[in-house]
Structure 1
């Protein structure tokens, strides 16, 4: 049975008053997803975190929902089940910390995976053009649960700030100062590719449905590296294509 069929059956039992029905707290308890496998627990925790992110400022915009669909690979015919779960998660009165702790527990050995999740939440928060105070507080709290300190959170946040040109600062994306040497740029780029390449995420057990998170991160790294090297008059040698 596919992950999305499990989701459909799970939601069906909730609606029909069987299985785990009995309240939103039951359907959104990540531990109830473990019988469906690690993939289901991780994926649905991400769905819940994303839904909470979208509603953090009290308004869910169309762009936020579209951004989520761009980051999560949803097979044809399964989108209605995901949309329903997403809508229920927005109504859930339980705190988001349960889902964040589940994600950290599942990927405690892969900080890069946790960073991808935080990146996705930032992407959703910036989909409408700005990050509201409530959204930033939510992101900071999730980051803390994931084990990132304040300095690292600010570095990740800086990667999502848009310049007046509408683009991100390539140095911020790479985590470098503008006066970094060419060698530092190359070395940092190679390290980031090694840490965030989608193949590495697969090896860590990230579900296929969430490869969009890794691909988006890799594309961002490649774009930043290309912009920095071209501005310096050097030829970029990409180690992974943005479409990887």
Structure 2
């Protein structure tokens, strides 16, 4: 049974509590909220912080609620931002019930009383500071912020709070932002230059940003950077660390972008 089936079916019985428990309880109904704060499984000792199913629940809850909070940052939620959230749900192939819950969480994040810091602090604890998982969460929020093509001052301020709360440096954040901005060069119509054609200057520059290396880097350094990034975004490893199975396609897409960036660099060097 999936983490969602366990959660709804009552086989979970863990005491999530805190702001994440309150958000999920609000999205699923008051009785569930009471259960989250008060239920203990028979035999004691249900899943604790760091356990996979619990981490998956925390990731799902925090992702859509914070996405809604970012969307409302400039005072209004644009059609592009709503479409981005819906696109994430589509790629996750959520069941109708999960989709309704995700939408409710998105709306809860838009509420004026939403406590971003408390949500992020609990999410970090629940994830046991699993770096690659926290990074994937931050990438999803960056995609949400760029849904309308740019990040305004209010959204930038919130993203900076998320970065600080999750323990990422400015350089790490800038690299993740480069990954998100460069996606248009390595997915869809921009995924490949014409057959046999050299990569464009813009595409090549973005490829180096994705790999987080200088154009003067040696072939060995390029390969090392590529392997490091692929390890960070490996879908199976992320799921093992607590990424909900439904989000595996998002991780797969990011791996494909990294691979395309690597191929672009190697093609420019006559290595492909």
Q: TM-score range by the shorter chain?
A: 0.7 to 0.9
Larger-gyration structure (1/2): 2
Alpha-carbon deviation of 1:164? 11
- Among 80, 96, 99, which residue is 1:77 paired with? 96
- Among 133, 136, 140, which residue is 2:156 paired with? 136
How many residues are paired up?
Answer: 222
Alpha-carbon deviation of 1:12? 5.0
Tell whether the 8 Å contact from 1:42 to 1:102 is kept in structure 2 after alignment: no
The CA distance in 1 between the partners of 2:55 and 2:183, in whole Å, is: 38
The SS at the match of 1:176 is: coil
Could you tell me which residue of structure 2 aligns to residue 3 of structure 1? 4
Structure 1 residues 155 and 38 mapped into 2: Cα distance closer, same or farther (>3 Å)? Answer: closer
The answer to whether structure 1 residue 53 and structure 2 residue 75 are counterparts is no
Alpha-carbon deviation of 1:141? 0.8
Structure 1 residues 51 and 164 mapped into 2: Cα distance closer, same or farther (>3 Å)? Answer: closer
Unaligned runs of 5+ in 2: 9-22, 38-47, 191-201
Trace 1:189-208 onto structure 2 (pairs within 5 A).
189-208=226-245
Trace 1:188-227 onto structure 2 (pairs within 5 A).
188-227=225-264
Tell whether the 8 Å contact from 2:142 to 2:159 is kept in structure 1 after alignment: yes
Question: Once structures 1 and 2 are overlaid, which stretch shifts more, 203-212 or 135-144?
Answer: 203-212
Could you tell me which residue of structure 2 aligns to residue 13 of structure 1? 29
Q: Map Cα deviations across residues 89-148 of structure 1 (whole Å, 9 max, x no partner).
A: 212512211221122112234211111111111111111111111111111110111111
Structure 1 residues 133 and 82 mapped into 2: Cα distance closer, same or farther (>3 Å)? Answer: same
Provide the alpha-carbon RMSD of the alignment.
3.2
Could you tell me which residue of structure 1 aligns to residue 143 of structure 2? 123
TM norm structure 1: 0.77
The SS at the match of 1:93 is: coil
Could you tell me which residue of structure 2 aligns to residue 182 of structure 1? 219
Question: Once structures 1 and 2 are overlaid, which stretch shifts more, 72-81 or 143-152?
Answer: 72-81
Alpha-carbon deviation of 1:231? 2.1
Question: Once structures 1 and 2 are overlaid, which stretch shifts more, 169-178 or 154-163?
Answer: 154-163
